[in-house]
Structure 1
Amino acid sequence: MVQQVPSPEQILEWLREHPDAGAKRDIARAFGLKGAAKVELKQLLTRMQREGLLERRRGRVRPDGALPPVLVLRTLGPDASGDLWAEPAEWEGDEPAPRILVLTRRDDPALGAGDRLLGRMVAGTEEAPLTARVIRRIGMGPSRVIGIYHNAEFGGRIAAIDKKTDRDWQVAPGDGGGAREGELVEAEQIGSPRSHGLPRARVVTRLGDPSQPKSVSLIAIHEHGIPDVFPEAALAEAAAAEPMPLGKREDLRDLPLVTIDPSDARDHDDAVCAMADDDPSNPGGHVVWVAIADVAAYVRPGSALDKEARRRGNSSYFPDRVVPMLPEELSGDLCSLIDNADRPCIAVRMQIGPDGAKRSHRFTRGLMRSQATLSYGQAQAAADGNPDDETAPFLETVIRPLWAAWRAAHAERDLRQPLNLDLPERRIILSDEGKVESVAFRDRLDAHRVIEDFMILANVAAAEELEAKRMHLLYRVHEEPNPEKLAALREVVESVGLSLARGQVLKTAQLNRLLDGVAGTEHAEMVNMSVLRSMTQAYYAPENFGHFGLNLPRYGHFTSPIRRYADLIVHRALIRAHRWGDDGLTVEEERALGETAEHISMTERRSMMAERDTTDRYLAAWLSDRVGSEFAGTISGVARFGLFVKLDETGADGLVPISAIGREYFVYDPDSQTLTGEKSRRVLGLGQRVMIRLAEAAPITGGLLFELLEVEGRAMPTPPKGSRQGTPRRKLGASRVRKRVVEKRSKRH
């Protein structure tokens, strides 16, 4: 029987349907060809290749322009819907490189824009004809740099503003992206790192004049990769949102709920009220209501809003702006508990005994109406007997019952002994133009503690409720310090005549005794900072490992869903557990809790670093006019290259390079965190009081450089001019010379 060799069209169609195949024997087997027919097939494939219908690679053929079954991809990053796209790392076609949807599994690595991966092509869909699975990641995305662009003879250079680096980046002609001399830019690395010469970079974003005050937070946003532009799909969903009716919700509008927040709060996601309990079984007890904005009603699983909220993980707050987790239509309006406006909420009613212990709780999905929007200062003044016109009507119905319930709850808190650190919080006040007007420390009022204690109580109730309902959730985990950090803490406390027992299970009560022992003394700040540094960083996890700092066996975040994605997950878990609607936690979300926890723990750390860097830059700008002035401070850190000093006046941190300390060589002891003079045996260590002179302030990097004048009232010898004492002079993120040039050019532009 004569075998029929397939037509070119049939071969092309078969190859498209079987991208993993392509060898001549595969085609012959598929069409049942043998003997002479296989020879004819070979001739046909050669002819098709000459005509440009096929291409051959590694002994396999495929339609011209078709993708091989396994290839290297370069990720383009997620789109507005959160889907991850990529393109072939090598593309020689005349048309633009095809976009490929990357299908990820739970155990795949987290992929970012620019990462390279080995992918396997799989069957696509009508919406995404080209799809691939991850085999493995084979390279991270290009390094990014934020810096000042300078014209050069051949192209340009970028002076990085990161104070942890002192290298420039070379920009080739054509890669400057139109950047001008002295302009702030964002660039990405080109090619592989070079062993010799400057790394090469391409300008990807022009950020404007670095001398403008409002560039400060913009630098941090771009430097840390915080998403600050909402996708159109998310904005459209937010714009289409409407107020929620009562429906099947519990009507809570008659409760005397109020919000108490900072005077400059941008959103209001929690409201509280309290009253005497009329339950005969709880004489002298209290009922406390905590109502939280029902964000889950507007941000449904899988929506564009949900994908963007998860990508951001949390809101980021800066002195001049906020990068919100949700668009303004929700964060500032429909989800914000504005006074005298009906708002959907998830609330918990908690019964508190006269001893402050929580006796019971009940969760509900309701509709509430805040009676007033109060600041901490207003609420505190009213509680102290000095109400203003706004708080006077609520003195008897809201303020006094709330403080009475809090005094009971706070007594129970004191018995629990959470870690009681006393660390003042800085507040940077900006003018309308964005310049620093003043730097002060925020007052710590009982009003802050009232809200803090009731929010903690509500968070504990949420974790207990979901555990009782056998629901998965995200816990807020804070593990106890590791042995190495405890050993370093012991060195510090022993240096001030205190002790921390060894060989025992560490409890917060032991640390609180240390803190109480130094309260009001010159060592208070040093011991508080040392205890803080001994702590591990809190994170989110689907497993419960307890919360050491709060001394709680279980803890979840429930009270801030406008600004934290973790709280939104807990809300959805409560909705599903109580069958309040179809917008609860989905099975897919439940399976991905581990991945979600890891991601939002990362976004939280990212925001903290960006906020800290912004504060450093504002403080450096504030102090830049006071170079040469003398300040009192405390040694807050010791390193081989010098001392870190925290200033009393502003809380700003700066460096005293070891080359600027005294007239002798200083030996660094990492165990005791000290520097010891080789000749004088003078010891410099944590917590010592110092006088310094501000030698340099670099607003662009946020770096401060100090000269050490006195330690514990004793003058330090001035180092010989030009002396380096065998130790390289520490740089503020770049060479001094380059930084002065940058500063002068920035001012001119």
Structure 2
Amino acid sequence: MPRRQARPPGDALAGPRPLPSKEDLRRFIRAAPGKVGKTEISRHFGLTTDQRPALRELLKALKQDGSAMPAGRHGLAAPGRLPEMAVVEIFGTDPDGDPLARPLGWTSAQGEMPLIYMRPERPGQPALAPGERVLARLKPAGRSKYDGTTVKRVAGPAPARILGIYEHGRIIPTDRRHKAEWEVPPGQANGAEPGEIVLAEPLPGQALGLRPARIIERLGRMGEPRSVSLLCIHAHGIPHAFHGDALAEAEAAKAAALEGREDLRAIPLVTIDGEDARDFDDAVWAEPSGGGWRLLVAIADVAHYVRPGSALDRDAWLRGNSVYFPDRVVPMLPEALSNGWCSLRPGEDRGCLFVEFHIDAAGSKTRHRFGRGLMRSAARLTYEAVQAAQDAGEDPTGTLAALYGAYRALLSARDRRGTLDLDLPERRVILDPAGMVLAVEPRARLDAHRLIEEFMVAANVCAAEELERLGQPCMYRVHDRPSDEKLEGLRAFLATFDITLPPGDQLQPRHFAQVLDLVRGAEHERLVNETVLRGQSQAAYAPENIGHFGLALPRYAHFTSPIRRYADLLVHRALIRGLKLGDGGLAEPEADRFADTGEHITGTERRSAAAERDAVDRYLAAHMAHRIGDVFEARISGVTRFGLFVTVDSNGASGIVPLGSLPDDRWLQDLPRRALAGQRTGLRFALGQAVEVRLAEATPHTGGMVFHLMQGLPPLQPRRRPAGGGRSGRH
């Protein structure tokens, strides 16, 4: 902030300095690290005692228009600035496990919620846990950020459930963000044995020492097959048991009849899924037509079996979607449907909803129509087999040549739109029959994957367009453009590589695609891909359409996976009602609840994604636990005030490098360049930098790993290097 020059000696005859403007005062108060008073303001602007009354009136006006807030007895602070002492509530932890807090009683009308990093308490005191409230001394640490120190604890709600590992009278939390252990008093263990995963509930207890808890459920032994996914299911609150009446409805299901349906059984539709796919809900076919292509996408008719208001519907709504773990699936629908009547098995008749659409040679759609049909899959193909056949110039089913021809046309249309296509491989966990980890490796992304993605995107667009034409409610899949705050950080990051983005009102997905093209093949390609991904908004479900920014589409809905996504089932029901295709259409009460349902299934989707990532992290930690002390090639994937995060190149294992493990130095955080710089050693660690790391800790029950950097440290003798080394994502 520009500062006024001090008045030189002998300038007293020049008269009093003019009063600062309101904008001058606003800038000064915003720039101040804490509260300021009239004395600090007068000294800064060179005001005299006679000008104090006028200054008071100016400051009063600032308080009235909300430009400044009272702080302490006589001080002022910028709007949203917290006082030096405040009651805060712990709501979570940062990746290092240190508590994060928010001010009690904060409302959205006060602006952006401040984030408070609570410093560790005195040794011997139990760690702060989510839900606890403390009186904290606060010190500004950047925009809307504070460092907090506990003055004293105050009453706060205890967690309703505790998930952890029981060990000789104690419960060790399985969430690495929660450091506080719990004590199990005599007679409250419910027969639990050391090493078992347990659910417990808090008991009234003392203020000092470990808090007491009672074990209410034993879930199995840590380390047994399927224990990781079981732990993640409970940790994330994923419903996993169907109600009896829902199971009964599923068992009573029968084959769909041809009556009222279009007979598609003569068309050689095929399913293409991963080798480890457990359900098949979409089938595809194409043929040349009038210089372009005729395509057919057929989807399992889940709406025929899951009717609005039924027990099956209630359970499906509650789940929102299926959840996929390396060793099991928690399905949205019971197995009698998900792997039975709603799975498009080869050679078996299945009810379906289909969309037939025509595209020209450039991939632009010319027309489409929807219908309800009866189909028979000609083959169950895998991505790997399809890719191998294509690479060898073979076509064992007689359908691949046309499918790839239509795919290339759709791809050209996608390229013209300029969509955002991030190349970030998924991790695939390979287990042996006993459930132990054999390997964790990147899942290959093949042209066969992209083929199915393009067919599904085109079908989804048709569904959104058709529902708008029919005037029916639509559960859109929406994706907003990046927020101004994220764009600000992304621009600063890209500037370090001399890359710029257009102004926000001109920004299009193609501009991000151009950024990715610029770095393709460069050392920092993966880093830029990951940073661009983090800079995007999250996709969501909503009945109000704002378009899909990433796909560069003005309207988009999910139609192609009603076995595993409730949103798709709603789209099917709306199409059935609008096109008068028979029973199972959208009911008016559920149409009225679309806004609430959109929020609900957006939440269940994010819950499932977190649980799936959590499971992979825990499997990785178990896999790496046998390699403590090994040295790995890695890249810095995060830079924070408390250390670095690194990701191992060979398998994607991630962990923290604590600040305390770095060479002794004063480490400064360079926010624009996402780096830590040592003042004395000259060492610098930046996001995306290639590093060698030694694994120091791996904790399977939390998924946490701790690494130490080799740079700047004496080499180990001998140094050991490792050998090199969920399903395809759909929009």
Contact 2:493 2:672 in 1 (8 A): no
CA distance in 2, matches of 1:576, 1:246: 19
Instruction: Give the C-alpha shift of residue 264 in structure 1.
Output: 1.1
CA distance in 2, matches of 1:260, 1:434: 26
Aligned to 2:439: 438
- SS of 2:369's partner is strand
TM-align CA RMSD: 1.8
- SS of 1:481's partner is coil
Question: For 1:276, which of 269, 279, 288 is the aligned residue?
Answer: 288
Question: For 2:355, which of 345, 348, 352 is the aligned residue?
Answer: 348
Matched, 1:576 2:583: no
Aligned to 1:469: 470
Aligned to 1:428: 429
Instruction: Give the C-alpha shift of residue 662 in structure 1.
Output: 1.6
Tell me whether 207-216 or 157-166 shows the greater mean CA deviation. Answer: 207-216
In structure 2, relative to structure 1, the CA distance for the partners of 1:285 and 1:302 (3 Å cut) is: same
Question: For 1:183, which of 184, 191, 196 is the aligned residue?
Answer: 196
Aligned to 2:683: 682
Instruction: Give the C-alpha shift of residue 195 in structure 1.
Output: 5.5
Instruction: Give the C-alpha shift of residue 201 in structure 1.
Output: 2.3
Matched, 1:145 2:162: yes
Aligned to 2:366: 359
With structure 1 as the length reference, what TM-score do the two structures score?
0.73
Matched, 1:668 2:675: no
Amino acid of the structure 2 residue aligned with 1:666: W
Instruction: Give the C-alpha shift of residue 611 in structure 1.
Output: 0.6
Aligned to 1:81: none
Question: For 1:198, which of 187, 195, 210 is the aligned residue?
Answer: 210
Aligned to 1:158: 171
Contact 2:298 2:353 in 1 (8 A): yes
Instruction: Give the C-alpha shift of residue 175 in structure 1.
Output: 2.8
Deviation per CA, 1:633-660: give whole Å up to 9, x if none: 1111111111001111001111100111
In structure 2, relative to structure 1, the CA distance for the partners of 1:662 and 1:140 (3 Å cut) is: closer
The structure with the largest alpha-carbon Rg is: 1
Aligned to 1:567: 568
What are the within-5 Å matches in structure 2 for residues 200-349 of structure 1?
Answer: 200-277=212-289, 283-349=290-356
What are the within-5 Å matches in structure 2 for residues 392-411 of structure 1?
Answer: 392=396, 394-395=397-398, 398-411=399-412
Instruction: Give the C-alpha shift of residue 699 in structure 1.
Output: 1.0
CA distance in 1, matches of 2:301, 2:310: 16
CA distance in 1, matches of 2:488, 2:563: 40
Contact 1:488 1:672 in 2 (8 A): no
CA distance in 2, matches of 1:371, 1:140: 58
In structure 2, relative to structure 1, the CA distance for the partners of 1:141 and 1:242 (3 Å cut) is: farther
Amino acid of the structure 2 residue aligned with 1:180: E
Aligned to 1:168: 181
CA distance in 2, matches of 1:145, 1:608: 21
Amino acid of the structure 2 residue aligned with 1:224: H
CA distance in 2, matches of 1:503, 1:377: 41
What are the within-5 Å matches in structure 2 for residues 402-551 of structure 1?
Answer: 402-551=403-552
- SS of 1:526's partner is helix
Instruction: Give the C-alpha shift of residue 427 in structure 1.
Output: 1.0
Amino acid of the structure 1 residue aligned with 2:163: I
With structure 2 as the length reference, what TM-score do the two structures score?
0.75
CA distance in 2, matches of 1:503, 1:698: 43
CA distance in 1, matches of 2:464, 2:208: 55
Amino acid of the structure 1 residue aligned with 2:306: V
Instruction: Give the C-alpha shift of residue 607 in structure 1.
Output: 0.7
Amino acid of the structure 2 residue aligned with 1:643: L
Identity of aligned residues (%): 52
CA distance in 2, matches of 1:195, 1:523: 51
CA distance in 1, matches of 2:475, 2:270: 28
Contact 1:663 1:717 in 2 (8 A): no
- SS of 1:616's partner is helix
Question: For 2:380, which of 359, 373, 385 is the aligned residue?
Answer: 373
Deviation per CA, 1:97-143: give whole Å up to 9, x if none: xxxxxxxxxxxxxxxxxx9xxxxxxxxxxxxxxxxxxxxxxx98943
In structure 2, relative to structure 1, the CA distance for the partners of 1:587 and 1:424 (3 Å cut) is: same
Contact 2:264 2:376 in 1 (8 A): yes
Instruction: Give the C-alpha shift of residue 200 in structure 1.
Output: 3.1
CA distance in 1, matches of 2:480, 2:621: 34
CA distance in 1, matches of 2:557, 2:427: 27
Gaps of 5+ in 1: 1-114, 116-138, 278-282, 720-749
Contact 1:633 1:692 in 2 (8 A): yes
In structure 2, relative to structure 1, the CA distance for the partners of 1:595 and 1:401 (3 Å cut) is: same
Instruction: Give the C-alpha shift of residue 504 in structure 1.
Output: 4.4
Instruction: Give the C-alpha shift of residue 693 in structure 1.
Output: 0.8
Instruction: Give the C-alpha shift of residue 340 in structure 1.
Output: 0.6
Instruction: Give the C-alpha shift of residue 501 in structure 1.
Output: 3.3
Amino acid of the structure 1 residue aligned with 2:655: G
Amino acid of the structure 2 residue aligned with 1:150: E
Instruction: Give the C-alpha shift of residue 506 in structure 1.
Output: 1.7
- SS of 2:506's partner is coil
Instruction: Give the C-alpha shift of residue 272 in structure 1.
Output: 0.1
Contact 1:662 1:718 in 2 (8 A): no
CA distance in 2, matches of 1:400, 1:655: 48
CA distance in 2, matches of 1:402, 1:245: 29
CA distance in 1, matches of 2:635, 2:421: 21
- SS of 2:564's partner is coil
Deviation per CA, 1:383-426: give whole Å up to 9, x if none: 22354xxx62x13xx11011111111111111011101111111
Instruction: Give the C-alpha shift of residue 558 in structure 1.
Output: 0.4
Instruction: Give the C-alpha shift of residue 503 in structure 1.
Output: 4.9
CA distance in 2, matches of 1:716, 1:554: 54
CA distance in 2, matches of 1:406, 1:421: 19
Contact 1:695 1:706 in 2 (8 A): yes
Amino acid of the structure 1 residue aligned with 2:189: G
CA distance in 2, matches of 1:284, 1:199: 73
CA distance in 2, matches of 1:526, 1:612: 19
Aligned to 2:623: 622
Contact 1:496 1:523 in 2 (8 A): no
Contact 2:173 2:179 in 1 (8 A): yes
Tell me whether 673-682 or 561-570 shows the greater mean CA deviation. Answer: 673-682
Gaps of 5+ in 2: 1-130, 132-155, 717-731
Deviation per CA, 1:598-628: give whole Å up to 9, x if none: 1111111111111111000111111111111
Aligned to 2:92: none
What are the within-5 Å matches in structure 2 for residues 111-126 of structure 1?
Answer: none
Instruction: Give the C-alpha shift of residue 321 in structure 1.
Output: 0.4
CA distance in 2, matches of 1:260, 1:211: 34
In structure 2, relative to structure 1, the CA distance for the partners of 1:697 and 1:142 (3 Å cut) is: closer
- SS of 2:517's partner is helix
CA distance in 1, matches of 2:676, 2:314: 50
CA distance in 1, matches of 2:443, 2:504: 38
Instruction: Give the C-alpha shift of residue 150 in structure 1.
Output: 2.5
